[in-house]
Amino acid sequence: MAHPSQLGFQDAASPVMEELLHLHDHALMIVFLISTLVLYIIVVMVTTKLTNKYILDSQEIEIVWTILPAVILIMIALPSLRILYLMDEVNDPHLTVKAMGHQWYWSYEYTDYENLAFDSYMIPTQDLTPGQFRLLETDHRMVVPMESPIRVLVSAEDVLHSWAVPALGVKLDAVPGRLNQTSFITSRPGVFYGQCSEICGANHSFMPIVVEAVPLEHFENWSSLMLEDA
């Protein structure tokens, strides 16, 4: 999860997020090289009296500054398109969870089970126990088996919401009357925090998302207990 004064991304907890971090580093290096080159040219032009009076009529330079930007854009676009395809691809999910946004809480339904559904509310600050995080903890977590493809269906009952978990590389709009879908695979066990990322009213800041990835046998035990309590 995020830490105070953190400048970078959260640690990746899914293959897609790892790819996004690699794309970020790739694009940032290209931007750094371009910025360095432009700064060097500016410094040279300001600090030297030597000039080329034919530079504005140079056909070779025009060819370079036309082709080079196109090549750079292709170098950025191709990895981006690959990751976009990976994020949209949903292949044989082991579990499907429907997340429904409300003002101001989330409800979850495990569609592979007959009667496994619950609401997830933020725990008020005064009810937190030592070690819990303010404005991020919920009374019921979305529990999923680790290293398994999970499909998430997202919608809303009232206004626009957005289901986002940065460590998993997931952010999906919840639109009333429309069912959007995405998928993810958790690469390690853990608890991953997110928040509604679409302004949805007065309590927009108070509808956190908590995804807990556990081994398969722990998930089966959890689902059995939830079905018994239903």
Domain ranges of the chain: 15-88, 95-229
**Strands 117-120, 190-196: pairing kind:** unpaired
- Please say whether the beta carbons of 172 and 162 come within 8 A: yes
- Superfamily grouping for domain 95-229: Cupredoxins -  blue copper proteins (2.60.40.420)
Query: SS3 of 31, please?
Result: helix
Q: Give me Rg for the CA atoms of the chain.
A: 24
Question: Which pLDDT does position 115 carry in this prediction?
Answer: 85
Residues 120-125: what's their mean pLDDT? 95
130: burial class by Cβ within 10 Å (0-12, 13-18, 19+)? exposed
The pLDDT tens digits for 92-107 are: 899 999 999 999 999 9
Q: How confident is the model at residue 52 (pLDDT cuts 50, 70, 90)?
A: low
Q: Please list, in sequence order, all residues whose beta carbon lies within 8 angstroms of the beta carbon of residue 42, skipping any fewer than 6 positions away.
A: none
Q: Angle, nearest 10°, between helix axes 59-88 and 15-47?
A: 160
Q: Is the pLDDT of residue 212 over 70?
A: yes
The pLDDT tens digits for 22-41 are: 999 999 999 999 999 999 98
Q: How confident is the model at residue 114 (pLDDT cuts 50, 70, 90)?
A: confident
Mean pLDDT of the chain: 90
Question: How far is residue 116's CA from residue 152's CA, in Å, rounded to a whole number?
Answer: 15
